[in-house]
Structure 1
Amino acid sequence: MNVGLCGYGRMGREIERILIARNHAVVTRIDPADPDADCSSAAAAPLRRCDVIIEFAHADGVAQNARLYAEAGVAAVVGTTGWDSLRDEVRQIVGQRIAYLVGSNFSVGANLFFRIVTHAATLANAFDEYDAAVFESHHNRKADSPSGTALTLGAKILAVMDRKTTIVDDTLRRPIESWELHVASMRVGSDPGTHTVSLDAAADTIELRHRARSRAGFALGAVRAAEWISGRRGFFTVDDMMDDMIQRQET
């Protein structure tokens, strides 16, 4: 594949390393702040040379970039977080013109973790003594808080625990309500990402944790997603890719 990178920071460079190792070509690098990038914006990039764009950039550019990708007929894998309020708009922009795959976390391990947490929360739903919470920590350069992964975990818990209806992710200066799910964050040092889900009762605590050792897992997952969407059209999530891969393994 000929691949364009939108966002050429640490993640973009790790994705480039894996692309080359898997015999793909990087034909353009887009980043307004990196002197090693080829272009400062998607509008200035040779998008039609690309089979797919892998985007890990800033949320404020997602909708405009999606429009440019659709006009150029280039597929996109988007790991940028913090734009959930624009999802319907982007879905309309994309339509069936291109393949557009989004995810808060492309790591295979993290996506297996999502499924493990969903199953555990489903079991805990039958026992009302168990409360639930999500805690995440990341390096001190991460731009958003809480992480997209933490919010995804929260949404999956809300979907299966009847007594939890609302995510609270700001500082609490009051007792938390029983229907609220607290999603808490910490920014420190160089942590590439740790997410913990607690199911807590008076008698015991169950903790489920995913800890990334590096960006390699995220980057490999993004490259796999770019390979997976080849020949497809429409708006997809990482769950669609994971479902397909698991089903193929089962058959």
Structure 2
Amino acid sequence: MKIALIGYGKMGHAIERIARERGHEIVSIIDLHNSADIEGEAFATADAAIEFTTPSTAPDNVMRAAAAGVPVICGSTGWASRRDEVEKSVVDAGGALLASSNFSIGVNIFNIINRKLASLMSHLPQYKPHLYETHHVHKLDHPSGTAITLAEGIISENERVNSWADEGMVWIDETNASMTPQELAAKVDAPEIASDALPVLSMREGEVPGTHTIDWDSPVDCISITHRAKSRDGFALGAVMAAEWIAGKKGIFTIEEMMSELL
């Protein structure tokens, strides 16, 4: 198939490599210097576009791609306030959109497990949940989009958790590198968190690709599930698989719909 890339940073390069490895053709690469090419002839030949840019540019990129008749896979986060506007524009243009905070197949399997575990814990009040996310030092926003998705999954499935609460962000260096996330959380000067809220602690360390852990802690034991990315390739592969899945479709889709077909 023919794929267009919108955003050509580290993720864009990884997506390009994996798309070519899977036999696809890259027909257009849009970056800061040539954003007008979304309206170009080459872009319009794509069977799908994969968008990884910034919260400020993603909404317009998606709407412009839809206007060009190209289905869009969007991995940019932080533009929820414009979600309704973007989706209406895509539908009005007769286009297609699948936007997700994380396209990693492993992360989405992890989210399914997370929701199931949260449901099982509904009637076991001795277990209290805590969510930890770790990313590289260049990621300044927190919690991560994936952490928020995981938190919302817990809230939707567990009767005792009604919201999530941001505990703040901890920078990992030589002074605290040996401490566990639980020990770091105990030292964070966070505001008081309601008993029915899920605490979410963010950590930033070196160049790590990303780790998400959910603890269900009781006085006698702790059940913990973790997803640890090894590189960007998992996210890139999932995005390419999503592009393969959305080609030829029209409408607004979710990563859950795609995963239900894959599984």
Scaled by the length of structure 1, the TM-score of the pair is: 0.91
- Taking the aligned partners of 1:166 and 1:42, their CA distance within structure 2 comes to 42
Say whether residues 1:192 and 2:192 are aligned partners. Answer: no
Q: Which residue pairs with 1:39 in the alignment?
A: 34
Q: Which residue pairs with 1:234 in the alignment?
A: 251
Say whether residues 1:104 and 2:101 are aligned partners. Answer: yes
Contact 2:11 2:52 in 1 (8 A): yes
Q: Which residue pairs with 2:123 in the alignment?
A: 126
Q: Which residue pairs with 1:249 in the alignment?
A: none
Q: Encode CA deviations 1:17-54: one digit per residue, 9 max, x unaligned.
A: 0111111111221222xxxxx72456565431322110
Instruction: For 1:100, give the aligned amino acid.
Output: L
* Identity in percent: 43
- Taking the aligned partners of 1:69 and 1:143, their CA distance within structure 2 comes to 28
Which of 199, 204, 221 is the matching residue for 1:204?
Answer: 221
SS state at 1:223 partner: helix
Contact 1:4 1:29 in 2 (8 A): yes
Q: 1:42 to 1:148 in 2, by over 3 A?
A: farther
Matches within 5 A, 1:28-67: 28-32=28-32, 39-40=34-35, 43=38, 46-67=42-63
- Taking the aligned partners of 1:175 and 1:42, their CA distance within structure 2 comes to 50
- Taking the aligned partners of 2:191 and 2:47, their CA distance within structure 1 comes to 51
Q: Which residue pairs with 1:35 in the alignment?
A: none
1:85 CA drift (Å): 2.2
- Taking the aligned partners of 1:22 and 1:205, their CA distance within structure 2 comes to 41
SS state at 1:169 partner: strand
Say whether residues 1:145 and 2:142 are aligned partners. Answer: yes
**Greater CA drift, 134-143 or 107-116:** 134-143
1:66 CA drift (Å): 2.1
C-alpha RMSD of the superposition: 1.6
Say whether residues 1:93 and 2:89 are aligned partners. Answer: yes
- Taking the aligned partners of 1:142 and 1:7, their CA distance within structure 2 comes to 17
Q: Which residue pairs with 2:24 in the alignment?
A: 24
- Taking the aligned partners of 1:220 and 1:243, their CA distance within structure 2 comes to 17
- Taking the aligned partners of 2:81 and 2:216, their CA distance within structure 1 comes to 29
Scaled by the length of structure 2, the TM-score of the pair is: 0.87
Contact 2:167 2:202 in 1 (8 A): no
1:188 CA drift (Å): 1.3
Question: Where do 5+ consecutive residues of structure 1 fail to align?
Answer: 33-37, 247-251
Which of 161, 164, 169 is the matching residue for 2:161?
Answer: 164
- The number of residues matched between the two structures is 241
**Greater CA drift, 57-66 or 156-165:** 57-66
Instruction: For 1:232, give the aligned amino acid.
Output: K
Q: Which residue pairs with 2:72 in the alignment?
A: 76
Instruction: For 2:218, give the aligned amino acid.
Output: A
Q: Encode CA deviations 1:210-229: one digit per residue, 9 max, x unaligned.
A: 00001111111000000001
Q: Which has the higher contact order (CA 8 A, sep 6+)?
A: 2
1:173 CA drift (Å): 3.4
Q: 1:114 to 1:135 in 2, by over 3 A?
A: same
- Taking the aligned partners of 1:176 and 1:157, their CA distance within structure 2 comes to 16
- Taking the aligned partners of 1:152 and 1:43, their CA distance within structure 2 comes to 30
